[in-house]
Structure 1
Amino acid sequence: MASNSEIAKQVIESVGGEDNIQSIAHCATRLRIMVHDREQVNVEAVEQIDKVKGAFYNSGQYQIIFGTGTVNRIYEEVTNQGVTGTSKSEMKEETAKQGNAFQRAIRTFGDVFVPIIPVLVATGLFMGLRGLLTQETVLAWFGLVPDDISENFLLFTQVLTDTAFVFLPALVAWSTFRVFGGTPIIGLVLGLMLVSPSLPNAWAVAGGTAEPIYFLGFIPVIGYQGSVLPAFFAGIVGAKFERWCRKRVPEALDLIVTPFLVLLVMIVLSLMVLGPILHLVENWIFSGTLALLGLPFGLSGLIIGFFNQIIVITGVHHIFNFLEIQLLENLGYNPFNPIVTGAIAAQGGAALAVGVKTQSKKLKALAFPSSISAFLGITEPAIFGVNLRYGKPFIMGLIGGGISGFLAAILELKATGMAITVIPGTLLYLNEQIFYYLLVNIVAIGVAFVLTYMFGFSDKDHNINEK
């Protein structure tokens, strides 16, 4: 297998050479390259490069899938060879005019959330571990009961599980300022102001143990612990306002005057206007999601499970992070996760079937790692590298996702956290639900595998020769 340095050189050559590369960046799994002339790109050559799990053009970029960890090393080698890298925010500006308004909005939402996902994943793992350590069944194995657990220990676990959600507006505002060209530290402070302990706690208000502060007799002001939209839009407006100020404030006064004006204007605007309005919108979105999840006879799971991975292709799936956060904040559990985990596992099952059935060594070398990636919760390699490329495996995966989602809804599975699925996701079900969770994943993988193996793929249909 070629070294990372050789792979980087092959990537540069396949996309038309260094002179054809306008900018390059990467996300968790994909190398994103903007080129001057699309005609110079040899997509087939790119797909033949070692470690490449798929390549496609989307949102003004050539996106080459390497997978988690590998993409970081390839990006480093590409930049070491003289190609100028760029931040994703800079690349976002370059692609701002590409795609329709909806695609641009979703892409921006994703740019904001991608840096936050790791801490939410970690928090989900902490929630799973806490669920394990405080589960009556597990404690009984050691001759303990919940009352035997130290209050100090529970307090320590709360620090691990609650911090990211309590200060989520600060994380969102920081990342939004970063994406929209503001000063991230100003965004961070603005977000912290939205959850200031001086304000009525949002959860206490929702629980009826605290009352909002009413300004002018009718504007309710509360803290926004766990909220996303108020911080997101405050970040957009704040970053643009900061850039407006910097163009007009004399340089000698900029260091003092600009942060002062931005924080003063934005906290008033956020608490008095954006917060109350967007908090209402969040409640509507949450109610709509609950309505869909509340459909009878497992219909919610069938619909969400089938369509989830179609949405992943468009990149719109980033908005689901917000929905899961809202579900955890309002319900204390996450019924969306077990439905989605089946959809993800099913794509892995379909890719696994392709790997088992094909006689092509190269396709096997692509399909097996891609299926493992899906079983760890990341489906892009399986979707773009295998299933979608050959068409029918992707459809069989959708069917498996719909059936497993239906089962998850019927069994009323409830995750204790978010952002992790399939094998890592077991940590969110380490209670009496674990066997049902495993059943949902087995059904997803089994259905997709059998359908793909029997009806969804053959080397002959795609003129694949053994090699």
Structure 2
Amino acid sequence: MDYKKVAKEVTDAIGGKENISSITHCATRLRVMVKSQESIDKKAVEDIEGVKGAFFNSGQYQVIFGTGTVNKVFEEVAKLGYGDVNANEISKASNDEVKRSNVQGNVFKKAIRTFGDVFVPIIPVLVATGLFMGLRGLLTQEQVLATFGMTADDISPNFLLWTQVLTDTAFAFLPALVCWSTFRVFGGSPVIGIVLGLMLVNPSLPNAYAVAAGTASPIIMFGFIPVVGYQGTVLPAFFAGILGAKLEQALRKKIPDTFDLLLTPFTTLLIMSVLSLFIIGPIFHSLETVVLNATEVVLNLPFGLSGIIVGGLQQIIVVTGIHHIFNFLEVQLLANFGKNAFNALISAATAAQAGATLAVGFKTKDKKLKALALPSSLSASLGITEPAIFGVNLRFVKPFVCALIGGACGGFVASIFGLAGTGMSVTVLPGMLLYLNGQLLQYIISLLVSAGVAFALTYTFGYNDKMLEEK
């Protein structure tokens, strides 16, 4: 694929610099803020090589390329002068769209989108950490060790220490990653964000996990404020990052250029360290605990209900574009418990989309649809469902409904098995690496149930070529 040519064709079809306010991207899509929807040549966009679908949502025109490809296309887009932007610029660009639509819904969607903008850059290291956890679980299983004539006592302590470094570092310093990314998104200096985030987990503070275990006590400031480290937390770092970036911007406008290098970082870190440790941290850590407890309640619903709910509805949430909320919840589960029950349920929902799309590909006699459906099914089996959803299943509606039913069935099985992955953001086939800790067979069964039910329903009731003729 000629990525330079594709980038030029996409930007031209969307209306060029006259119509494009800003462009950013997530794991699979270019996200374009436009001034006028009417100026977009939608047919031309969808006919461009590599484009697997496009749609308009919450002020953004989203063009699906798929994982990996979107990064290369965006690199060429940036060279054309459409660089990455921060949340403030995105917000300004979407003002016209806000006026056209429901304000409350827009504010909610923008908040979720901003959450996604913050988390997308740090997801790769969390994915790597999850894979390390899975491999560590595999290598330390008694059955695996027995094949080499070893037991757990034969494993070198230094080797275990090294694997602990691989699996624990990202979550030990999670607030620093979140604060860095939040500063970047909201227009602050990322390096200030890193330092502010590291302050939240400074070794001088009582370790949050030790306090929770009762082996350490909080520091009491001013006689009534309990202060601990914020290892594994998200919300304190997120809101500290937002406020810190805004404060830095305000200071740069007030402080003369001569003293900017000296006073702006000093004042920002001084004020934000006080606010973060004594006000933002305690308040939002408490809120985070409430959210986590509510999440646990949902995931622990009896009779497989959590699997039915999440497995059946998760792909609808993907369609709405607010699925990034799962990032926050998954990070919290991993940071606090070292396992992520959402992953198995999301994998079930994703596998069902693959099964439904595969059924359409097998049943249709239309060569163009078959050429679209079969690769889209493969993409979904690797964890990327947008081509399957927008290119095939949602286009004909019934296959999408069949996939939702399949996802609910697979989610039910995963919930009954009590599956929980060691990481996040890799699902279906790549997600198998997160279940090497003795859960692999059950995970595969849940995927087969999801994909099998969706395939059977779609092939039997959900699609025929008369639907294509009607379209």
Mark yes or no: TM-score above 0.5. Answer: yes
Unaligned runs of 5+ in 1: none
Contact 1:54 1:386 survives alignment (8 Å): no
SS for the counterpart of 1:297 is helix
Instruction: Report the CA distance between 1:419 and its aligned residue.
Output: 2.3
Give the alignment partner of residue 346 of structure 1, picking from 352, 359, 372.
352
Correspondence 1:456 to 2:455: no
* Structure 1 pair 16–250 and aligned structure 2 pair: CA distance change class (3 A): closer
Give the CA RMSD over aligned residues: 1.9
The aligned counterpart of 1:66 is 65
SS for the counterpart of 1:32 is strand
The aligned counterpart of 2:442 is 436
The aligned counterpart of 1:136 is 142
The aligned counterpart of 2:217 is 211
Amino acid in the other structure paired with 2:67: T
Contact 1:137 1:431 survives alignment (8 Å): no
Correspondence 1:174 to 2:180: yes
Distance (whole Å) between structure 1 residues aligned to residue 382 and residue 407 of structure 2 = 16
Distance (whole Å) between structure 2 residues aligned to residue 8 and residue 200 of structure 1 = 50
Instruction: Report the CA distance between 1:322 and its aligned residue.
Output: 1.8
SS for the counterpart of 1:298 is helix
Amino acid in the other structure paired with 1:56: F
Q: Which stretch has the larger CA shift, 434-443 or 246-255? A: 246-255
Distance (whole Å) between structure 2 residues aligned to residue 349 and residue 91 of structure 1 = 40
Query: Deviation per CA, 1:121-177, whole angstroms, max 9, x where unpaired?
Result: 111111111111111111112111111111100110111111100011000001111
* Structure 1 pair 326–42 and aligned structure 2 pair: CA distance change class (3 A): same
Distance (whole Å) between structure 2 residues aligned to residue 377 and residue 343 of structure 1 = 10
Distance (whole Å) between structure 1 residues aligned to residue 186 and residue 344 of structure 2 = 34
Instruction: Report the CA distance between 1:18 and its aligned residue.
Output: 5.3
The aligned counterpart of 2:82 is 84
Give the alignment partner of residue 447 of structure 1, picking from 434, 453, 465.
453
Correspondence 1:359 to 2:365: yes
* Structure 1 pair 48–458 and aligned structure 2 pair: CA distance change class (3 A): farther
* Structure 1 pair 426–385 and aligned structure 2 pair: CA distance change class (3 A): same
Alignment of 1:110-259 (within 5 A): 110-259=116-265
The aligned counterpart of 1:293 is 299
SS for the counterpart of 1:64 is strand
Instruction: Report the CA distance between 1:13 and its aligned residue.
Output: 4.2
Query: Deviation per CA, 1:358-393, whole angstroms, max 9, x where unpaired?
Result: 222222222222222211122222212221222111
Instruction: Report the CA distance between 1:111 and its aligned residue.
Output: 0.7
Q: Percent identity?
A: 63
* Structure 1 pair 20–217 and aligned structure 2 pair: CA distance change class (3 A): closer
Q: Which stretch has the larger CA shift, 132-141 or 148-157? A: 132-141
The aligned counterpart of 1:27 is 26
Contact 1:59 1:95 survives alignment (8 Å): no
Instruction: Normalising by structure 2, report the TM-score.
Output: 0.94
The aligned counterpart of 1:47 is 46
The aligned counterpart of 2:419 is 413
Distance (whole Å) between structure 1 residues aligned to residue 288 and residue 206 of structure 2 = 18
* Structure 1 pair 90–72 and aligned structure 2 pair: CA distance change class (3 A): farther
* Structure 1 pair 66–148 and aligned structure 2 pair: CA distance change class (3 A): same
Q: Which stretch has the larger CA shift, 31-40 or 447-456? A: 31-40
Instruction: Report the CA distance between 1:50 and its aligned residue.
Output: 2.5
Distance (whole Å) between structure 2 residues aligned to residue 92 and residue 63 of structure 1 = 14
Unaligned runs of 5+ in 2: 99-105
Q: Which stretch has the larger CA shift, 131-140 or 25-34? A: 25-34
Q: Which stretch has the larger CA shift, 300-309 or 321-330? A: 321-330
Amino acid in the other structure paired with 1:436: Q
SS for the counterpart of 2:231 is coil
The aligned counterpart of 2:321 is 315
* Structure 1 pair 312–454 and aligned structure 2 pair: CA distance change class (3 A): same
Distance (whole Å) between structure 2 residues aligned to residue 211 and residue 449 of structure 1 = 55
SS for the counterpart of 1:241 is helix
Contact 2:131 2:422 survives alignment (8 Å): no
Distance (whole Å) between structure 1 residues aligned to residue 407 and residue 218 of structure 2 = 43
Distance (whole Å) between structure 2 residues aligned to residue 342 and residue 200 of structure 1 = 40
Distance (whole Å) between structure 1 residues aligned to residue 89 and residue 358 of structure 2 = 34
Amino acid in the other structure paired with 1:421: T
* Structure 1 pair 306–15 and aligned structure 2 pair: CA distance change class (3 A): same
Distance (whole Å) between structure 2 residues aligned to residue 428 and residue 41 of structure 1 = 41
Query: Deviation per CA, 1:222-260, whole angstroms, max 9, x where unpaired?
Result: 000110000000001111111111111121111111111
Contact 1:167 1:192 survives alignment (8 Å): yes
* Structure 1 pair 269–125 and aligned structure 2 pair: CA distance change class (3 A): same
Contact 1:186 1:263 survives alignment (8 Å): yes
Distance (whole Å) between structure 1 residues aligned to residue 258 and residue 48 of structure 2 = 53
Distance (whole Å) between structure 2 residues aligned to residue 331 and residue 8 of structure 1 = 42
Distance (whole Å) between structure 2 residues aligned to residue 92 and residue 46 of structure 1 = 22
Q: Which stretch has the larger CA shift, 306-315 or 259-268? A: 306-315
Amino acid in the other structure paired with 2:24: A
* Structure 1 pair 231–11 and aligned structure 2 pair: CA distance change class (3 A): same
Give the alignment partner of residue 91 of structure 2, picking from 85, 90, 93.
93
Query: Deviation per CA, 1:91-139, whole angstroms, max 9, x where unpaired?
Result: 5234453452111111111111110111111111111111111111111
Distance (whole Å) between structure 2 residues aligned to residue 284 and residue 434 of structure 1 = 31
Instruction: Report the CA distance between 1:77 and its aligned residue.
Output: 4.0
SS for the counterpart of 1:416 is coil
Correspondence 1:11 to 2:10: yes
Amino acid in the other structure paired with 2:45: V
Amino acid in the other structure paired with 2:51: V
Instruction: Normalising by structure 1, report the TM-score.
Output: 0.94
* Structure 1 pair 245–335 and aligned structure 2 pair: CA distance change class (3 A): same
SS for the counterpart of 2:324 is helix
* Structure 1 pair 328–8 and aligned structure 2 pair: CA distance change class (3 A): closer
Amino acid in the other structure paired with 1:70: T
Distance (whole Å) between structure 1 residues aligned to residue 418 and residue 60 of structure 2 = 40
